[in-house]
Structure 1
């Protein structure tokens, strides 16, 4: 067993500088990454936009404390929910985690379901500078005062390309596009043309998309959401709601959070909240399939039962 593990580790370091494990929610990505890290002496690096928040371990299905203790885990729960964390902030943190893994001669294993994070990792990202807090607060205040339709109309005047691309009621993205104009004097498409290079260019990684059969995946999603409720998700969300943070913050929009806040306020029953949460998560999984198929075709789609064999093949195993 030790010989096989050494061979697997050597094979991966010889053939790939990093392994990327993507897939829809509840597909078994974290367990697969943990298993691979144990076999290769690797480090698991989070690529899920909601698992970065320390306030949300249960509702985002972050690895447990016990799992995190078994192998090195990076970029899990390291951001406060009050922070408007972005793909740009994540890629900066990911660069440090990647550098640390390489310095320690550990296989970097990026795992998650956030397509934009993986796209930034392998294709690069626009070089939009940080938005000053006062600019963000001003745009958000106008959003609450004037409504999303008014801000979309303003965006159509100032950045018609972005306005045409966005849905008229997409509060978060409309606000973001206006924040960029206010802070930099330039529209988002201008920044997108001047991108940062990828951390992992082609040839420096092996990438799989874990693709379970849909009905089986949806059954797992339903069971997992119910298990979250039984494990304290309502109490976790109640603690977050008590902070009275801006509802437009990413952490406040994590799947299950808004409906559980409504349940805590007495607006819906627990059963209604559970059904909505399960449905919302299934819909999100469907979007993940579509996004990766069209945006990141270099990811090889692998059934869960074949995933370990796929990884061993990439490690030079028979």
Structure 2
């Protein structure tokens, strides 16, 4: 099992949603003795197995999977929190001499993994709740005006109606006395420096990908996604939490509450997911050019080049 040391310390498999990342990672992990590490910001949530297309329990039982469904939906999980967890998983994989295979669609997580991240400390819950209360009471314009007084650089950089980021910037300056800009300047080093990994971005044909996204949303509903979202809605969590904004969740919650039909909710969910996939193509192209773009049907050949003589054709179907 030592052969992977010769070619890379880790393999990174990114791509738009529904491009076949999970199947490719599973194929590689089975053949090389690896561990699959979730690098998707929504698949961390325990409450969202079906609607986020997490690996099935059967797939998770075939090889070690880490950082899937380990966070409660009530938690505002951040890229920094994920990096902390990923560092522990990376150390575990190295101790067991297993190839870590990071797979997912969250560009910020991959960027934090390979480029490092700002060292913003955890924000106390009472500070976060105070900022959110002011947001609800006075509106986003008032919060942006407050940010402009306390952290002009961040306020100028953010769109005046970006509720989530304005609240985040204000939380940081209130909790730490320093701006996000200052924290970003003094960052944490990358877990995987350049040269220590092989990275691929699965780039399917757009029309075929969008058709798969539409079909998969229907399959999710058949598998119980509506019931899953209904259980989440019953918790009455803050709608600003990341888990409450997962693709398909807001629209299905509107259906559960009687606002719109299931057909309308499904169409919104499919459309949001297609738009997200389009943004993923653009983000990775501009932000992470070190990822090699490969069509899913050629992924097995790419892996053979990464781990010579150990990997056959992969089946990119999930």
Structure 1 unaligned segments of length 5 or more: list them. 1-8
Determine if the alignment matches structure 1 residue 310 to structure 2 residue 305.
Answer: no
Instruction: Name the SS for the 1:110 alignment partner.
Output: strand
Give the distance between the partners of 2:276 and 2:190, measured in 1 at CA: 26
Q: What is the CA-CA distance between 1:129 and the residue it aligns to? A: 0.4
Report matched runs for 1:109-148 at 5 Å: 109-148=101-140
Distance 2:206 2:268 in 1: 19
Q: Deviations over 1:40-94 (max 9, x none)?
A: 0000000000000000000000000000000000000000011110000000000
Mapping of residues 30-109 of structure 1, within 5 Å: 30-109=22-101
Q: Distance in 2 between matches of 1:283 and 1:161?
A: 30
Question: How far did 1:158 drift?
Answer: 1.8
Output one character per residue of 1:204-226: Cα deviation in whole Å (capped at 9) or x when no partner.
10000010010000000000011
Which secondary structure does the structure 1 equivalent of 2:36 belong to?
A: strand
Give the structure-1-normalised TM-score: 0.96
Cα distance in 2 for partners of 1:218, 1:290 equals 16
Q: Tell me the distance in 2 between the aligned counterparts of 1:285 and 1:12.
A: 31
Distance 1:303 1:25 in 2: 14
| Structure 2 Cα separation of the partners of residues 308 and 221 of structure 1 | 22
Matches within 5 A, 1:1-318: 10-317=2-309
Work out the CA distance in 2 between the residues paired with 1:201 and 1:279.
36
Distance 1:165 1:306 in 2: 40
Offset at residue 10 of structure 1 (A): 4.5
| 2:101 counterpart SS class | strand
1:155 shift after superposition? 1.4
Aligned length: 310
How much is the aligned-residue C-alpha RMSD, in angstroms? Answer: 1.0
Deviation at 1:14, TM superposition (A): 1.1
- Unpaired runs of 5+ residues, structure 2, are 311-318
Q: What are the superposed Cα offsets for residues 243-300 of structure 1, whole Å, 9 maximum, x if unpaired?
A: 1111111101111111000000111101100111000000000000011011000011
Q: Which runs of 4+ in 1 moved over 6 A?
A: none
CA separation in 1, counterparts of 2:265 and 2:156?
34
1:169 Cα deviation after fit: 1.4
CA distance in 2, matches of 1:165, 1:283: 24
Q: Aligned residue for 1:4?
A: none
